[in-house]
């Protein structure tokens, strides 16, 4: 093996890395590091979240109430209390709803020119219904994304979150 003036490995007939040494270096670079986290499939976790299912197993329900995430998956017991969706789901829902409803309203206005009361009657409930229908799936997808990327306490090596206290039936 030879090095150029900057310390880089130079391949060539005289003193370059042979194919076997290059393969060994490549395999060593791909080898798992001790204590490394297993890679989680992001598209699968997003799909499971969109279906309001546990991002880990895909079978347990993600929500206990409309937007209240369960602390642990009832099927695989994966901890889900780490999630920090905060204001992101409503932001994405507003963005998606606007991109769907505004073009529809423009098409209806251009094609039919209905009176304003008809617009209010049509687009008000439609917009509210679409937004409410999208909130759970969007929040679930965001939680799946956080889980797949080991964010906000979903990293088992992280100490940033304390588990919630168990809730007894008479404490509420």
Instruction: Give residue 172's pLDDT band: very low, low, confident or very high (50, 70, 90).
Output: very low
Domain that holds residue 2: 1-31
* 22 and 78 belong to one structural domain: no
Q: Which of 83, 56, 46 is nearest to 68 (CA)?
A: 83
* 7 and 89 belong to one structural domain: no
Q: Which of 66, 69, 89 is nearest to 154 (CA)?
A: 69
Asked if residue 112 belongs to a domain, the reply is yes
* 72 and 143 belong to one structural domain: yes
Q: What are 167's two structure tokens?
A: 């809730």
* 68 and 143 belong to one structural domain: yes
Summarize pLDDT for 51-109 with one digit per residue, the tens.
999 999 999 999 999 999 999 999 999 999 989 999 999 999 999 999 999 999 999 99
* 78 and 144 belong to one structural domain: yes
Q: Which of 89, 92, 83, 91 is nearest to 150 (CA)?
A: 83
- Number of folded domains that form the chain: 2
Asked if residue 170 belongs to a domain, the reply is no
* 85 and 20 belong to one structural domain: no
What sign has the CA pseudo-torsion 136, 49, 74, 150?
Answer: negative
Residue 35: its pLDDT value, please?
A: 62
Asked if residue 169 belongs to a domain, the reply is no
Summarize pLDDT for 17-40 with one digit per residue, the tens.
677 876 766 666 665 555 678 899
**Average pLDDT in the chain:** 85
pTM above 0.85, yes or no: no
* 83 and 18 belong to one structural domain: no
* 101 and 23 belong to one structural domain: no
* 66 and 133 belong to one structural domain: yes
Asked if residue 21 belongs to a domain, the reply is yes
Decide the pairing of beta strands 9-10 and 2-3: antiparallel
* 78 and 127 belong to one structural domain: yes
* 5 and 68 belong to one structural domain: no
């Amino acid at each position: 093996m030879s090095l150029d003036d900057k310390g880089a490995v130079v391949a060539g007939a005289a003193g370059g890395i042979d194919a076997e040494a290059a393969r060994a270096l490549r395999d060593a670079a791909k080898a798992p590091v001790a204590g490394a986290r297993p890679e989680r499939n992001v598209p699968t976790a997003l799909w499971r979240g969109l279906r309001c299912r546990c991002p880990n197993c895909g079978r347990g329900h993600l929500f206990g109430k409309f937007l209240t995430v369960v602390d642990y998956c009832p099927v695989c017991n994966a901890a889900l209390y780490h999630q920090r969706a905060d204001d992101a789901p409503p932001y994405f829902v507003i963005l998606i709803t606007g991109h769907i409803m505004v073009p529809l309203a423009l098409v209806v206005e251009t094609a039919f020119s209905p009176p304003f009361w008809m617009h209010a009657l049509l687009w008000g409930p439609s917009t509210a219904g679409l937004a409410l229908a999208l909130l759970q799936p969007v929040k679930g997808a965001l939680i799946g994304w956080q889980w797949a990327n080991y964010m906000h306490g979903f990293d088992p090596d992280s100490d940033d979150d304390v588990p919630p206290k168990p809730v007894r039936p008479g404490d509420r």
